[in-house]
Amino acid sequence: MAEVSDHPTDDQQPKGNARDISVVQDAPAAVMEGSLDPVYEAKAKVLNKAIQDIGMGRYQWQLFIVIGFGWASDNLWPIVTSLIFTPVKNEFNPTRAPFLSLAQNIGLLVGAVFWGFGCDIFGRRWAFNLTIGITAVFGLIAAGSPNFAAIGTFAALWSIGVGGNLPVDSSIFLEFLPATHQWLLTVLSIDWALAQVFATLVAWPLLGNLTCEEEEEGGCTKSKNMGWRYFMIVMGGVAMIMFFVRFVCFTIYESPKFLMGKGQDAEAVKIVHEVARRNGKTSPLTLEDLEVCNNLGSSSSSPGIAPTGAATQSHVSTALKRNLQKVDASHLKALFASPSLILSTTLITTIWAFIGLAFPLYNAFLPYVQATRGAEFGDGSTYLTYRNSLIIAVLGVPGCLLGGYLVETRSLGRKGTLAASTVLTGAFILCSTTALDSAALLGWNCAYNFMSNIMYAVLYSYTPEIFPTKDRGTGNAVTASANRVFGIMAPIVAMFADLETNAPVYVSGALFVAAGLAVLVLPFESRGKASM
């Protein structure tokens, strides 16, 4: 990393005193005034302005590409578990096959909690690289699983890596994005949809041709059932390539705000200058610009007098403490501070919980449902099952794009689009139980996946918009936790509901419909309005 001077050049030197604090206070910020320690808040504004002045350049576009790996992995690996479910079940004959999905969802919950909060402690950089690395290693090892317990264990372990992708990647991406380009975070959802297409495209030839049936003569042995193992090698290999590109081919810098919160102002300034250099620009930011913010800490006692070294360290420590405490009683209480907030927070958390149970309950066992229902129609071959999965996956891509358009329409907005797409997702799932042939079943599932991708595209953007900025981290943590906890319940429900019946399908469809109706009661419509 190139050395960066801590002192301004002649043309950057402010007249008179250091850069006037009013300039710092006028810098644009995404945080509500007074919600953070004044020293930390002022320094964050300085860094925000510095990133905005640099603009969207080479470094951010490269980051956009490698961040997309995390978005893709978040959907790819749960789909992997879904696709290998039937061949794994046929080979190992477990008493409770849904334990495979249960192991995965436990790993996702652990990963979201550990990496999400951990990146605020040991930094974004290592978390950014290690999440996909862990996924790759255990994904490859899983290909050699000798029994059902082993594949379940490895599914949990690779999911610990997967669970950290979105909380870590979204944090580091936003912290390097100029405010004018934060909409790119929504565009990343296209990687989420394309990952499903890729997984099913690879699964079609491998699992479709190299999978044995459960009732096959002589039993479904490893030698006859190598498709899912080859599939795991391909998926693990792709994840390893992603890790290599991130770790070796791309230099990820630590977040300037994270370094500033740790009291490492000089390092934060160096990172900003290095990003500017990568973009072919220069930045006027100096260490003095950050240090002058320390004067804000003395305003309550003796205005104009800078705090002592001990006082400055105290303010830095306070800032760091508040930066790390994403969930505490005060932020939690603020989400229920008024009747409208009580209704909004309760409903959006309930909606996330219902979807957290409904989506894996149906999607995780979709190939199995297709195979068993297809068998009833006389064309339930494994090849057709995975061919149909590919067709269904492709329909998700235009769904993401349409969702991005509909949320800005006056007639629907966020609430209308989310409510309609969620209800229709459930309706199409329920309609799939009426299919009298495999073509009808495929059609209903295509419609379901198209609508569910619209739903997720809107849900990911609407949720943070309806939380006050100062409490948004806590609100997102609450909804994400509800989603993962109910996701753990999905395979348990499936086990006791009996996969041989349509009971899991009915439960999933009903939950989607209920979640969609709950959206209509939400008190806030965020279309065309600035987030609080």
- Percentage of the chain lying above the pLDDT 90 cut: 18
| Inside any domain, residue 313 | no
Torsion over CA: 8, 9, 11, 17 (sign): positive
**291, 316 in Cβ contact below 8 A?**
no
Is pLDDT at 373 greater than 70 in this prediction? no
Torsion over CA: 394, 240, 204, 495 (sign): negative
| Spatial separation of the C-alpha atoms in residues 378 and 359, rounded to whole Å | 28
Is there a single domain that holds both residue 333 and residue 216?
A: no
| Spatial separation of the C-alpha atoms in residues 141 and 150, rounded to whole Å | 10
Is there a single domain that holds both residue 252 and residue 377?
A: no
Q: In 179-244, where do the E strands start and end?
A: none
Is there a single domain that holds both residue 396 and residue 520?
A: yes
| Spatial separation of the C-alpha atoms in residues 467 and 35, rounded to whole Å | 14
pLDDT digits (tens, 9 = 90+) for 299-319: 443 333 334 444 444 444 444
Is there a single domain that holds both residue 209 and residue 63?
A: yes
Residue whose C-alpha is closest to residue 481's, from 323, 347, 356:
356
pLDDT digits (tens, 9 = 90+) for 398-445: 887 787 778 778 888 888 989 999 999 999 988 888 877 778 888 888
Q: From the CB of residue 411, how many other CB atoms can be counted at a distance below 10 Å?
A: 7
**For 200-221, what is the mean pLDDT?**
80
Tokens of 90: 């046929």
Residue whose C-alpha is closest to residue 203's, from 394, 382, 398:
382
Pick the residue with more confidence: 140 or 493? 140
| Inside any domain, residue 277 | no
Residue 395, domain extent: 326-532
| Inside any domain, residue 193 | yes
Q: What is the pLDDT of residue 214?
A: 66
Q: What CATH number is given to the structural domain containing 494?
A: 1.20.1250.20
**For 513-528, what is the mean pLDDT?**
86
Which domain-ending residue is among 223, 248, 264?
264
Is there a single domain that holds both residue 404 and residue 508?
A: yes
Pick the residue with more confidence: 524 or 330? 524
| Inside any domain, residue 134 | yes
Is there a single domain that holds both residue 437 and residue 520?
A: yes
| Inside any domain, residue 129 | yes
Which domain-ending residue is among 240, 264, 288?
264
Tokens of 468: 């006050």
Is pLDDT at 127 greater than 70 in this prediction? yes
Is there a single domain that holds both residue 256 and residue 335?
A: no
Is there a single domain that holds both residue 344 and residue 473?
A: yes
Q: Give residues with Cβ within 8 angstroms of 394, minimum separation 6.
A: 197
| Spatial separation of the C-alpha atoms in residues 201 and 391, rounded to whole Å | 9
Is there a single domain that holds both residue 345 and residue 219?
A: no
What pTM was estimated for this model as a whole? Answer: 0.73
| Inside any domain, residue 6 | no
Is there a single domain that holds both residue 116 and residue 241?
A: yes
Q: Give residues with Cβ within 8 angstroms of 158, minimum separation 6.
A: 77, 107, 134, 135, 137, 138, 139, 142
Mean pLDDT over each residue of the chain, to the nearest integer: 76
Q: What is the pLDDT of residue 150?
A: 95
pLDDT digits (tens, 9 = 90+) for 380-391: 566 677 777 788
pLDDT digits (tens, 9 = 90+) for 137-162: 999 999 999 999 999 999 999 999 99
**For 212-227, what is the mean pLDDT?**
78
| Spatial separation of the C-alpha atoms in residues 420 and 153, rounded to whole Å | 38
Is there a single domain that holds both residue 86 and residue 216?
A: yes
Number of domains in the chain: 2
Tokens of 384: 């057709």
Tokens of 22: 């009013």
Which domain-ending residue is among 264, 283, 316?
264
| Inside any domain, residue 436 | yes
Q: What is the pLDDT of residue 135?
A: 94
Is there a single domain that holds both residue 495 and residue 349?
A: yes
| Inside any domain, residue 9 | no
